[in-house]
Amino acid sequence: MFTLPELPYRYDALEPYIDVQTMTLHHDKHHQTYVDKLNAALESQPDWQGKDLDELLKNLDKIPEVSRAAVRNHGGGHANHSLFWQILSPEHDLKPDGALDEAIIRDFRDMSSFQAAFTTAAMNQFGSGWAWLVVDQAKKLKVMALPNQDSPVSQGLTPILTLDVWEHAYYLKYQNRRNEYVENFWHVVNWQEVGRRFEQVTA
Contacts to Mn ion by CB under 5 A: 164, 166, 169
95 or 168: CB nearest Mn ion? 168
- What share of residues in the chain are helix, strand, coil (percent, to 5)? 55, 10, 30
135 or 169: CB nearest Mn ion? 169
88 or 103: CB nearest Mn ion? 88
164 or 193: CB nearest Mn ion? 164
166 or 185: CB nearest Mn ion? 166
- Return the bridge partners of 162, or none: 132
The distance of closest approach from Cβ of residue 165 to Mn ion in the complex, given in angstroms and rounded to an integer, is 9
The distance of closest approach from Cβ of residue 26 to Mn ion in the complex, given in angstroms and rounded to an integer, is 6
129 or 195: CB nearest Mn ion? 129
- DSSP state for residue 127 in the 8-state scheme: S
Sheet arrangement for strand 129-135: 141-147, 129-135, 158-164
The distance of closest approach from Cβ of residue 19 to Mn ion in the complex, given in angstroms and rounded to an integer, is 14
The CB density around residue 18, as the number of other CB atoms within 10 Å, is 25
Given a contact cutoff of 8 angstroms between Cβ atoms, the answer to whether 74 and 149 are in contact is: yes
Residues 35, 174: Cα–Cα separation, whole Å: 26
The distance of closest approach from Cβ of residue 29 to Mn ion in the complex, given in angstroms and rounded to an integer, is 10
The distance of closest approach from Cβ of residue 81 to Mn ion in the complex, given in angstroms and rounded to an integer, is 6
Question: What is the biggest distance separating any 2 CA atoms in the chain, rounded to whole angstroms?
Answer: 48
The distance of closest approach from Cβ of residue 140 to Mn ion in the complex, given in angstroms and rounded to an integer, is 27
The CA–CA distances, whole Å, from 181 to 62, 161, 192 equal 37, 16, 21
Side-chain half-sphere CA neighbours of 184 within 13 A: 17
- Taking CB atoms, the residue at the shortest distance from Mn ion is 164
- DSSP state for residue 37 in the 8-state scheme: H
